[in-house]
Structure 1
């Protein structure tokens, strides 16, 4: 930033001092369940009832486009990185403030809303009300700190938008061929771009034709790539298809309004608001940008018929085997998914015991998936990791963000979670399932009955059935030493009668899912078949924790006693720490991670949502 000439900094008060509750007693008001301070003092020191602390010296700066000059305002908690944006910097607080936020009078008549006065408020932070629905009428961003409010019209504006004078007209030929003019009243009108009549955002209208649009919708991108679909999507004001449902929210699409549709001719469309969600779209405009040719690149090189060279095992060749029972006794596991080789074709190394399921060998090296807005890359991991989607510990292969998302924003995703497409046909339910991102309307899992803001769920659009990713990724077919046949996963919502587990000899609740043999009729608990950590491989060593942890098979004559639960470990694997302790669960070993999934994970979740909301704004 560059310093510019401005009256001496002592003429204005540092916002930290101006809004300090310790210095001044502000009146409070409650609006729709959220509390705000009513800011009634002036930003001029000469008009203030308190002398300004001489150590809080403000200096005015002019913003540039350099990345190192990107700052957010500590008064309204929003950023504006355009060239020409002016900031105040306090040498005592070390904070940046918008010029408009510092010079914000208690009562203001905005060009955006000239009819009624606006009152200056400050949001009182409370974890229980962080997801309230108060958004700036102009830019559409959440109100986080300093803001203006009209008690007469229930209208919200952040200080920067309230001071803007370019509200009268907007010329954007990419969105509309005519000049768009500001509609000053808060009214219930239907936007021709997003098909919503949300009056929280200001409207613009065309004086030459019947076109109404939200200010936030004027600058929507033309061509985008979302995580839900393999092809790019382009914006259109009318669809050639009828009776289509949104590929994200599954609600019906009105073909007379703006939507995003597939550029490759697929009968696929998405609401404009759904397509530009920050957890689905990476925020990049792709118009005139060449498409990547390696989106679905294979993970192996085909050497000959049935012989491949896989990228993760490039020093040896692998051969396809269709009759796997000739080679395996059910004790060997796939290197990618860690599940036993019970059924189907496999690729086996011609020189060692490295082996894949055929489906795992064919996993694409790069792919887009609905679990993350960026492109994912397949990578083998030589230690166990924590999946960011199903919240299970796993070994083997994982998909990671190829755009370099920080590890505190995106953890590895196991290949089971990443393999789901936008429509999931699960054997436990007759209807297709769709990923639900809105945790407020998410249902409890129909199998495990878990409902969490962290664990994503797959829901049915026709009934009240829902599956969390932990249950949706359970293997459908498994084998157990107590039965010679293949066991299949079952779920019965209206089951009656008693079911007994053949392993623990306790009753099984069919409403929570179970494994059964279709020929023998026996039933098993899911945990009795798979254990506590079904995707962990014996022999794995992890040194990321406070101590070295080794995964070892639980095949001794006498089962070890767990140092956590003080009971004998009953699952196939146990965890041995460097100090000799035996622990039967990965969650008990990695107690720091469990804590993170709890309170610390919740705080990270809130920070991530706040960042997504900030990045979802348009010019």
Structure 2
């Protein structure tokens, strides 16, 4: 192939000269590249009489590649046609003569050799085929379909680790991987892929005889010390200020009597910086009082991990990319392309995808995965449990006992098996189950001139300052004592 001054070329796969075309018209019939089969949209080389077109990159692809790890026994691959939709491949001329054809896609000939994949702790190495000792049936750790051992795959470089994924699964989205240029970088990345040793505990003040930290200072609660305890002194509904779930196991509480701050021991010991499978960038722990979680799509209080432009609440951040879910018989894996409706709530998963089963049509979004397994509510004296299947034929059980609307029996609900009480999850938990009562909302979440606080209940049911109706549920209240501004949460963006 020779390049001429007029930017015309003579390509070995076409008998006529090809003319360089700078701009493609969107009018009329689409043109397709005769090499890769994709639609022509970028600058290309064309032979209009023959309706023959080549992408610029396809036309200038090297005609010959020297030694290649896929086929080391013969020297060189040659670019040639192949009578299939993916008709531009590299092949070995010597093997063709021996009728033992070796071919590989043009794009696959230059796949990254080593990548750092966010969903695994170690680097992954590309192999065009697996060695003899690996010849056992293995499933891709992303989609859980079988990896063909005589085809390309990415597998862990660390000895003894059997992590393996399809090439397309590993490289499908560049938010999840980065190319490792030097093999020596792998050792460096091993150290950084483990969770950071930088603890969110800023200082240990006291320790027990067995070395357990019993009094600490924590970055999320400056100025006060936190003391370790194993039970509440009084029966109160206290929530962890990290994950916003009820305090039950070992926890730290603020040493100041008037300060009601609590942290599960697990939440207090979280690393301040770590690598998370959802992004290849590091995740930084933040303790903002309010943020919108980009995965469960809820306004939340507590701790967040910020990664790659996303804010993720602690409940979602603790979900692994492959889960065993007690409400389903198979493993569920995260699929960022999944757009199927969630089997828990019936909603579309949105742009961030969802967890799905590789063996059947079952899907769960982050919102349903973060639901508590049991709750206490005033409609029943017993604990209400999250239920996945409704096999009860009683008509009463098919209605929500809070909103009195008929339930969709294919979706999840909370119920008491003793009293036959049942309700929608949103009715049981409320619209804002993970917002802390009394937090101050950011200014961009409302239009009032002063700071406002979130409250679950309003004493004496005052009238909303905007719509005039009674405030029976969540409200925003002005922090200024001389200001009587109180609005429904839904009216927060309305101007008076």
Shorter chain as denominator, the TM-score bin is 0.7 to 0.9
Alpha-carbon separation, structure 1, partners of 2:359 and 2:405: 34
Q: What's the CA shift for 1:269? A: 0.7
Q: What's the CA shift for 1:563? A: 6.9
Q: What's the CA shift for 1:529? A: 1.8
Q: What's the CA shift for 1:238? A: 0.3
8 Å CA contact 1:386–1:411 kept in 2: the answer is: no
Verify: 1:367 aligned to 2:274, yes or no: yes
Secondary structure of the residue aligned to 1:202 is: strand
Q: Deviations over 1:495-552 (max 9, x none)?
A: 6443243333443333221112344442222112221122222323202357456332
Alpha-carbon separation, structure 2, partners of 1:296 and 1:420: 15
Match of 1:550 among 443, 452, 476: 452
8 Å CA contact 2:90–2:103 kept in 1: the answer is: yes
**Runs of 5+ unmatched residues, structure 1:** 1-99, 127-131, 189-197, 592-619
Q: Specify the alignment match of 1:329 in structure 2.
A: 236
Match of 1:215 among 88, 103, 106: 106
Alpha-carbon separation, structure 1, partners of 2:51 and 2:418: 66
Match of 2:126 among 229, 235, 257: 235
Q: Specify the alignment match of 2:322 in structure 1.
A: 423
- Give the TM-score of the pair, scaled to structure 2: 0.78
Q: Specify the alignment match of 1:255 in structure 2.
A: 149
8 Å CA contact 2:141–2:164 kept in 1: the answer is: yes
Alpha-carbon separation, structure 1, partners of 2:34 and 2:242: 47
Q: Specify the alignment match of 2:355 in structure 1.
A: 458
- Give the TM-score of the pair, scaled to structure 1: 0.64
Verify: 1:471 aligned to 2:368, yes or no: yes
8 Å CA contact 2:458–2:471 kept in 1: the answer is: no
Q: Deviations over 1:247-283 (max 9, x none)?
A: 2222210122221122343332101221122132134
8 Å CA contact 1:562–1:584 kept in 2: the answer is: no
Alpha-carbon separation, structure 1, partners of 2:445 and 2:487: 15
Q: What's the CA shift for 1:459? A: 0.8
Q: What's the CA shift for 1:466? A: 0.8
Q: What's the CA shift for 1:423? A: 1.0
Q: 1:565 to 1:256 in 2, by over 3 A?
A: farther
Match of 2:377 among 480, 484, 496: 480
1:337-352 aligned within 5 A: 337-341=243-247, 343-351=248-256, 352=259
Q: 1:315 to 1:546 in 2, by over 3 A?
A: closer
Q: 1:506 to 1:160 in 2, by over 3 A?
A: closer
Secondary structure of the residue aligned to 2:24 is: strand
Q: 1:263 to 1:529 in 2, by over 3 A?
A: same
Verify: 1:393 aligned to 2:299, yes or no: yes
1:133-212 aligned within 5 A: 137=35, 144-148=41-45, 157-162=54-59, 164=60, 167-171=62-66, 173=68, 177=72, 179-188=75-84, 199=86, 202-205=89-92, 207=94, 211-212=102-103
Q: 1:222 to 1:145 in 2, by over 3 A?
A: closer
Alpha-carbon separation, structure 2, partners of 1:377 and 1:134: 45
1:473-512 aligned within 5 A: 473-492=370-389, 496-498=393-395, 499=397, 500-512=399-411
1:276-355 aligned within 5 A: 276-277=171-172, 278-285=174-181, 287-289=183-185, 290-291=188-189, 293-294=191-192, 295-297=194-196, 299-301=199-201, 303=207, 304-307=211-214, 308-313=216-221, 315-324=223-232, 326-327=233-234, 329-330=236-237, 332-341=238-247, 343-351=248-256, 352-355=259-262
Q: Deviations over 1:175-211 (max 9, x none)?
A: 65454323321334xxxxxxxxx71653343746864
Q: 1:231 to 1:452 in 2, by over 3 A?
A: same
**Runs of 5+ unmatched residues, structure 2:** none
Q: What's the CA shift for 1:481? A: 3.4
8 Å CA contact 1:444–1:451 kept in 2: the answer is: yes
Secondary structure of the residue aligned to 1:504 is: coil
